[in-house]
C-alpha cells in the first residue's frame, strides 16, 4: 500500500482492526522499505507515516512482522537517480563505500509469501537480494557497458540536507507521494549510514533464488546503452 497518511495509517488501521476482530493471529504491515528503525523521526515524511502506524500496531494484541528489503532494485532503471546512464556516472552523496541494499519486487513477494506461512517470524525480518556500494556500482557498470563509469559526488550529506530543505520550501507538493524532495530524503537515508542491517534474513527460506544487481541489469540491457 503506497500513499500518504490516509493510506498508510488510516486504511491500514481498518485492515488491522478487521484482522483482530476476525481473530487473525499475525499481521504483516505494508512497509517493504529500508530499515527506518534507526532513522531520525521528522526527516523522511513517507517513512514517518509507516513509523506512526508501527506505534499503533505495537499496542494491538496481534503479532506483527515487518519486512525490510532496502530499496526496490527495479527502481535502478526507472525513478532512482543513482545510475546516470547518459553521463556514465554513479551519483553519490557521502561515503562511496557505504553499503546499499537492493531487492527485486518479485523476490520481496516470494519472501513475504514464505513469511506469511511461517508461524515463528520475529517482529522484523531484513532481506537484501544484493548489496553494493557506489564504488562497486561504478565497477559493475563499467564491466557491463564496456564504458568507464565514474563517481559523481556533488557533495556530502550536509549539502544534500540543505538541498532537501530548499527544494521542499520552494516546491512543497504536500499532496504528492513522491515529490522531488521526498526522493532526495530516500537517497540521503540510504547513503547516510544510519540504515545498518545487523543480521540478514535473506536465506531464511532456502527455495528463493535471489536476483543480483548484475543479473537484473543484464535483463535490462536496452537501458545500458
Radius of gyration, CA atoms only, the chain: 18
Least-confidence region, from 60-64, 76-80, 139-143: 76-80
CA distances from 121 to 38, 112, 115, 127 (A): 21, 11, 7, 13
The yes-or-no verdict on residue 84 having pLDDT over 80 is yes
pLDDT confidence tier of residue 193, bands split at 50, 70 and 90: confident
> What is the pLDDT at residue 224?
66
Residues 4-21, mean pLDDT to the nearest whole number = 96
H or E element that contains 125: strand 124-126
Q: How are the residues of the chain apportioned to helix, strand and coil, as percentages rounded to the nearest 5?
A: 45, 15, 40
* DSSP one-letter code for 38: T
| SS3 at position 67 | strand
Q: What is the mean pLDDT of the chain?
A: 93
- Cβ burial of 143 (10 Å; 0-12, 13-18, 19+) is exposed
CATH number at 5-224: 3.40.50.720
Q: How many residues appear in the chain?
A: 225
DSSP state of 212: P
In the predicted model, what is the mean pLDDT of residues 175-183?
Answer: 90
DSSP state of 84: E
For residue 121 the three cell numbers come to 517470524
Other Cβ atoms closer than 10 A to 210: 16
- Dihedral pair phi/psi, residue 98, rounded to 5°: -70, 130
Q: What is the DSSP letter of 66?
A: E
The pLDDT of residue 177: 86
7-24: average pLDDT: 97
- Domain ranges across the chain: 5-224
Lowest mean pLDDT among 28-32, 98-102, 120-124, 219-223: 219-223
Q: What dihedral do alpha carbons 195, 197, 198, 203 form, nearest 10°?
A: 180
Q: Give the pTM.
A: 0.92
Q: Is the pLDDT at 167 greater than 90, yes or no? A: yes
- CA pair distance 34, 112, nearest whole angstrom: 15
Task: Give 197 or 22, the one with higher predicted confidence.
Answer: 22
Number of C-alpha atoms within 13 angstroms, CB side, residue 204?
25
pLDDT at position 198 is: 72
Q: Give counts: helices (H), strands (E), the chain.
A: 8, 10
Mean pLDDT of 47-65: 96
Amino acid at each position: 500500500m503506497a500513499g500518504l497518511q490516509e493510506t498508510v495509517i488510516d486504511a491500514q488501521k481498518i485492515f488491522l482492526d478487521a484482522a483482530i476482530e476476525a481473530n487473525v493471529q499475525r499481521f504483516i504491515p505494508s512497509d517493504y522499505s529500508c530499515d527506518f528503525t534507526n532513522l531520525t523521526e521528522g526527516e523522511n515524511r513517507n517513512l514517518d507515516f509507516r513509523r506512526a502506524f508501527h506505534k499503533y500496531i505495537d499496542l494491538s494484541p496481534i503479532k506483527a512482522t515487518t519486512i525490510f528489503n532496502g530499496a526496490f532494485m527495479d527502481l535502478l532503471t526507472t525513478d532512482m537517480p543513482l545510475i546516470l546512464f547518459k553521463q556514465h556516472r554513479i551519483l553519490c552523496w557521502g561515503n562511496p563505500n557505504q553499503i546499499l541494499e537492493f531487492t527485486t519486487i518479485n523476490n520481496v513477494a516470494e519472501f513475504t509469501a514464505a513469511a506469511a506461512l511461517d508461524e515463528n517470524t520475529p517482529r522484523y525480518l531484513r532481506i537484501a537480494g544484493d548489496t553494493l556500494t557506489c564504488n562497486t556500482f561504478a565497477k559493475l557498470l563499467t564491466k557491463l557497458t564496456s564504458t568507464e563509469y565514474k563517481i559523481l559526488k556533488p557533495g556530502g550529506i550536509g549539502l544534500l540536507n540543505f538541498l532537501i530543505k530548499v527544494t521542499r520550501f520552494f516546491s512543497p507538493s504536500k499532496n504528492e507521494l513522491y515529490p522531488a524532495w521526498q526522493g532526495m530524503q530516500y537517497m540521503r537515508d540510504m547513503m547516510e549510514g544510519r540504515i545498518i542491517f545487523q543480521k540478514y534474513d535473506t536465506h531464511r527460506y532456502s527455495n528463493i533464488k535471489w536476483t543480483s544487481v548484475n543479473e537484473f541489469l543484464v535483463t535490462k540491457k536496452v537501458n545500458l546503452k
